[in-house]
Amino acid sequence: MLRELFTLWRDRGARLARSLGQDREAVSIDARHRRCRATWQPHLEATKRLILDAAASAPGQGLAVMLGSGACLDVPVAELAGCFGQVVLVDAYHPRPARELAKRLPNVRLVVADVTGLVQAARDAARGRTPLPCPPPLPDILAGLRPDLTASVNLASQLPIPFYRLLGSRVAETEREAFYRGVVTAHFDWLAGLPGRICLICDTAWEQADGETILEQCDALEGVILPPPDRAWVWRIAPRPEESSAYDRQNRVAGYLDFAAVWPLRELDALRL
């Protein structure tokens, strides 16, 4: 705990990340990775492998964009930098390991962004100034860039979480639930409309498990249903006694090599209802 507090004090994020608690979350993730390194490794390797396999079928080698790059534990930055002219890492907060990679690799660039584009809209709704957008508009964070490869990396299930505290009970529950579902759907819609190869890795369920027995399962995507993935695996994110001596916590993960092919634009209107 003292190490985590020192890291946070030394390495506070930008105002956006601080306001959403994402700098604190990044420090917690790093600490948990140190404690659970062995059980995280299969998930991290599976994620990197999927990104690299998607990269191999990208239409060009100009630009790769990694959304939700964090500390780059699950992003093969060096390999991508060797394949693409430029690699852009996008997150609300870039921890020290990501910043060090960007210093070492001249064609790696860091972009700080709210990937949803909805933080200000949610703040206004929480203050009673405007209603929550329904459905939320598609984000616009790439400013006209045309990537050859875009990967959303273990991000989609995390997008609504900062809004839980931001909105609290200041907005009606039905509106909040529709908004959270819309945040996830808008992310998928936006991804599917990008040029180039689209790679998606995301949690689909969060579970408490005792061996092969699932004690409790929670949908990780606010009710949004994805098509069958190209690959799927289990991320043992908190083996006992990390969170509890009574169960292990694990995430079901889905991976898509060509997400636009299975989330076609012609279906967007139906999917957003």
**Which CATH number fits the domain that encloses residue 146?**
3.40.50
Q: How many CB atoms sit inside 10 A of residue 191's CB?
A: 22
Task: Look up residue 46 and give its two tokens.
Answer: 């599976």
pLDDT tens per residue, range 110-158: 999 889 988 888 889 988 888 899 889 888 888 888 999 999 999 999 9
The answer to whether the beta carbons of residues 177 and 264 sit under 8 Å apart is: no
**Which residue shows structure tokens 């299969």?**
42
* Count of the separate structural domains present in the chain: 1
Structural domain for 104, as ranges: 2-271
Q: What is the pLDDT of residue 76?
A: 98
The answer to whether the beta carbons of residues 249 and 208 sit under 8 Å apart is: yes
Distances (CA, A) of 156 to 7, 191, 213, 221: 26, 11, 26, 7
- pTM of this prediction? 0.87
Backbone angles phi, psi at 253, to 5 degrees: -120, 135
Q: What is the pLDDT of residue 28?
A: 73
**Which residue shows structure tokens 């069958």?**
228
pLDDT-flagged residues of the chain (< 50) = 1-13, 266-273
The answer to whether the beta carbons of residues 238 and 28 sit under 8 Å apart is: no
Q: What is the pLDDT of residue 21?
A: 55
pLDDT tens per residue, range 226-256: 999 999 999 999 999 988 999 999 999 999 9
Q: What is the pLDDT of residue 3?
A: 38
